[in-house]
């Protein structure tokens, strides 16, 4: 029985957190004799590594030194708390110091060159995880558990896309089995770096920010794990943002599709891409809270039979603008939508919601507020001729709006859901500015004023609780 468990930055971010993590690992030993642990860098470390590297590239000779100092303080402090006596602590300090030294010399090289390549950045940012796994493994040994830190450069074989590498699963499977299985069979807890891999030549790559979840899923697939557990600092996936809706509850089961919708519309859940390997292989995936390990968390499954009318969760993205292109001359003219979104794409902005009225006299879509100006001027340029001859009357933007999205695969084919949503909002005096429903019927999105976001979430959440 193989269990892959991933611990995020906050779960390894301090001595206390690492103790908590170790307790979770040790408490599950008897039930799960073969455990692969994937760890992120201590919280804040990856950001610091990026900051030092990019500042050096822009000619700043001071910041990366401060970063190195902070990294030493942070890690050495934790070592002194977790391993106060004995050789293990000293050896570990020396080891981590070497990583930081190497980071500093890479920063120095970047400073001299004035150039930071994605490949160099991957080498530099990979040390956060290399340090955290050594810390965790040492501490587990200190607690009497045989454990070994392993760099995923030995396991996860990727292509050459530095900063966003794609795993080559066949090679990864062979390498991971060969390297990890013998250790697992001996009862050694293997503690593997999240976030990183190596290309076929052995050059370190990273899977992109937040990539440790992906690492866990990749190894889950490669090792045919029986389960994958993602440990984080929240109680699984919630029915709403608990900061806006205090009654929010943990959702016990979610389908892959629902996770994807929630992630797209701003909920803080796993990135759907990162969990695809486990979900597609039907490996049970759990999201659990390090701070409440006794709670069961959320299970993510490939698909599940939904009970009718099931609304699962509500989520919101604030600080958006609704851009409207309108004009009587747009009626029946092909190509307006294509040109509109072509112009938007040239600004490199991702559109969050699109809606067009049936008379075709207007198209509206939501974009992040900070992109509004660029988009409107891009559209004015694209449609300068139509604006001149009044085929398009105006291009406007309504600022400070939010998208509130309701997710639930069980809404499919259930009549009356939209009606219930709209009356719930109407009862609370929340005005709906625009609406969109995906054809998958797995989500319905409503554009409301920014100021109405919390009220709208609460109103809809009351429906979830009562359904
Ligand atoms: N440490 C990396 C990051 O902060 C990867 C991760 O935490 O998942 O992006
Ligand atoms: Mg992280």
Mutate-to-test residue for ligand 1 from 6, 74, 212, 214, highest number of ligand atoms within 8 A of CB: 212
Counting ligands in written order, the one closest to the CA of 39 is 1
CATH number at residue 337: 3.30.2130.10
Distance 209 CA to ligand 2 centre (A): 7
Give the pairing of strands 189-193 and 157-158.
Answer: unpaired
Counting ligands in written order, the one closest to the CA of 209 is 1
Mutate-to-test residue for ligand 1 from 8, 210, 217, 218, highest number of ligand atoms within 8 A of CB: 210
Distance 452 CA to ligand 2 centre (A): 31
Contacts 24+ apart (CB under 8 A), 426-433: 427/459, 428/455, 428/456, 428/458, 428/459, 429/455, 430/455, 430/456, 430/459, 433/322, 433/398, 433/401
Degrees (nearest 5) of the Cα angle 450, 456, 459? 165
Q: What is the dihedral of CA 457, 462, 463, 465, to 10 degrees?
A: 120
Tokens of 286: 């759990």
- Helix%, strand%, coil% for the chain, nearest 5: 45, 20, 35
Would residue 362 count as lying in a domain? yes
- Structure confidence at residue 349 (pLDDT): 87
> Of 296, 173, 319, 150, nearest to 237 (Cα)?
296
Would residue 358 count as lying in a domain? yes
What is the H or E stretch that residue 256 is in?
Answer: helix 256-264
229 and 323 co-located in one domain: no
DSSP 203: -
Would residue 439 count as lying in a domain? yes
Distance 294 CA to ligand 2 centre (A): 23
Distance 276 CA to ligand 2 centre (A): 19
Cα–Cα dist 181/414, whole Å: 48
Distance 210 CA to ligand 1 centre (A): 4
Would residue 360 count as lying in a domain? yes
For residues 225 and 3, is the Cβ–Cβ distance under 8 A? yes
225 and 326 co-located in one domain: no
Distance 47 CA to ligand 2 centre (A): 9
- Structure confidence at residue 245 (pLDDT): 93
Query: How many C-beta atoms lie closer than 10 Å to residue 334's C-beta?
Result: 6
**Nearest atom, ligand 1, residue 213 CA:** 8
CATH number at residue 25: 3.40.1160.10
Q: What are phi and psi of 436, to 5 degrees?
A: -150, 140
- Structure confidence at residue 305 (pLDDT): 66
Counting ligands in written order, the one closest to the CA of 48 is 1
Distance 6 CA to ligand 1 centre (A): 11
Would residue 285 count as lying in a domain? no
Q: Beta partners for 158?
A: 167, 199
| Helix ranges (DSSP H) in 245-354 | 256-264, 272-280, 336-346
- Structure confidence at residue 308 (pLDDT): 61
Mutate-to-test residue for ligand 1 from 13, 206, 209, highest number of ligand atoms within 8 A of CB: 209
228 and 330 co-located in one domain: no
For residues 304 and 312, is the Cβ–Cβ distance under 8 A? no
Helices (H) and strands (E) in the chain, counts: 15, 17
Boundary (domain end) residue, out of 233, 259, 288? 233
Residues with CB under 6 A from ligand 1: 8-9, 40-41, 46, 128, 194-195, 209-212
Cα–Cα dist 78/387, whole Å: 63
Would residue 258 count as lying in a domain? no
Boundary (domain end) residue, out of 233, 250, 277? 233
- Structure confidence at residue 161 (pLDDT): 97
Domain extent, residue 218, equals 2-233
- Structure confidence at residue 359 (pLDDT): 67
b/e sequence 244-270, b meaning 16+ C-beta within 10 Å: bbeebbbbeebbbbbbbbbbbbbbebb
Distance 9 CA to ligand 1 centre (A): 7
* Ordered mean pLDDT values, 10 residues apiece, the chain (467 residues): 97 97 97 97 98 98 98 98 92 98 98 97 98 98 98 98 97 98 98 98 97 97 97 91 92 90 85 88 94 93 72 94 91 85 90 81 93 95 93 94 92 84 94 85 92 95 82
Residue nearest atom 6 of ligand 1, based on CA coordinates: 210
Count of domains observed in the chain: 2
16 and 138 co-located in one domain: yes
Would residue 328 count as lying in a domain? yes
Counting ligands in written order, the one closest to the CA of 214 is 1
208 and 325 co-located in one domain: no
324 and 226 co-located in one domain: no
11 and 133 co-located in one domain: yes
Residue nearest atom 8 of ligand 1, based on CA coordinates: 210
32 and 177 co-located in one domain: yes
Cα–Cα dist 368/351, whole Å: 8
- Structure confidence at residue 27 (pLDDT): 97
215 and 333 co-located in one domain: no
Residue nearest atom 5 of ligand 1, based on CA coordinates: 210
38 and 130 co-located in one domain: yes
- Structure confidence at residue 439 (pLDDT): 66
Boundary (domain end) residue, out of 186, 214, 233? 233
């Amino acid at each position: 029985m193989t269990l892959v468990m991933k611990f995020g930055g906050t779960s390894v971010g301090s001595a206390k957190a690492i103790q908590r993590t170790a307790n979770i690992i040790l408490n599950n030993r008897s039930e799960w004799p073969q455990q692969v642990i994937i760890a992120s860098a201590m919280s804040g470390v990856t950001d610091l590594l990026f900051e030092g590297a990019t500042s050096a590239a822009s000619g700043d000779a001071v910041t990366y030194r401060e970063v190195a100092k902070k990294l030493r303080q942070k890690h050495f402090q934790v070592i002194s708390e977790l391993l106060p006596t004995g050789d293990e602590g000293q050896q570990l300090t020396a080891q981590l110091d070497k990583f930081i030294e190497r980071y500093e010399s890479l920063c120095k090289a970047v400073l001299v060159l004035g150039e930071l390549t994605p490949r160099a950045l991957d080498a530099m940012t990979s040390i956060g995880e290399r340090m955290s796994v050594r810390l965790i493994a040492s501490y587990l040994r200190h607690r009497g558990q045989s454990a070994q830190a392993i760099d995923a450069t030995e396991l996860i074989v990727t292509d050459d896309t530095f900063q966003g590498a794609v795993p080559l699963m066949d090679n990864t499977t062979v390498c991971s089995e060969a390297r990890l299985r013998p250790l697992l069979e001996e009862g050694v807890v293997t503690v593997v770096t999240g976030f990183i891999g190596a290309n076929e030549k052995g050059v370190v790559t990273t899977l992109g920010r937040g990539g440790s979840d992906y690492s866990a899923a990749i190894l889950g697939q490669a090792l045919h794990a029986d389960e994958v557990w993602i440990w984080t600092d929240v109680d699984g996936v919630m029915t709403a943002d608990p900061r806006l809706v205090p009654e929010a509850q943990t959702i016990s089961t979610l389908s892959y599709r629902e996770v994807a919708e929630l992630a797209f519309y701003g909920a803080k859940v796993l990135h759907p891409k990162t969990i695809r390997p486990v979900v597609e292989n039907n490996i049970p995936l759990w999201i659990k809270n390090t701070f409440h390990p006794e709670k069961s968390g959320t299970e993510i499954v490939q698909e599940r039979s939904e009970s009718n009318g099931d609304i699962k969760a509500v989520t919101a993205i604030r600080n958006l603008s609704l851009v409207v292109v309108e004009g009587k001359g747009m009626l029946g003219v092909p190509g307006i939508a294509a040109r509109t979104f072509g112009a938007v794409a040239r600004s490199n902005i991702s559109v969050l919601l699109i809606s067009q009225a049936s008379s075709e006299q207007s198209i509206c879509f939501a974009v992040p507020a900070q992109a509004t100006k660029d988009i409107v001027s891009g559209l004015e340029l694209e449609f300068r001729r139509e604006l001149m001859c009044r085929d398009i009357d105006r291009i406007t933007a309504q600022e400070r709006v939010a998208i509130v999205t309701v997710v639930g695969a069980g809404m499919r084919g259930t009549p009356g859901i939209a009606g219930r949503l709209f009356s719930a909002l109407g009862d609370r005096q929340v005005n709906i500015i625009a609406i969109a429903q995906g054809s998958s019927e797995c989500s319905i999105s409503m554009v409301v004023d920014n100021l109405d976001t919390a009220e709208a979430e609460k109103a809809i959440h009351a429906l979830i609780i009562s359904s």
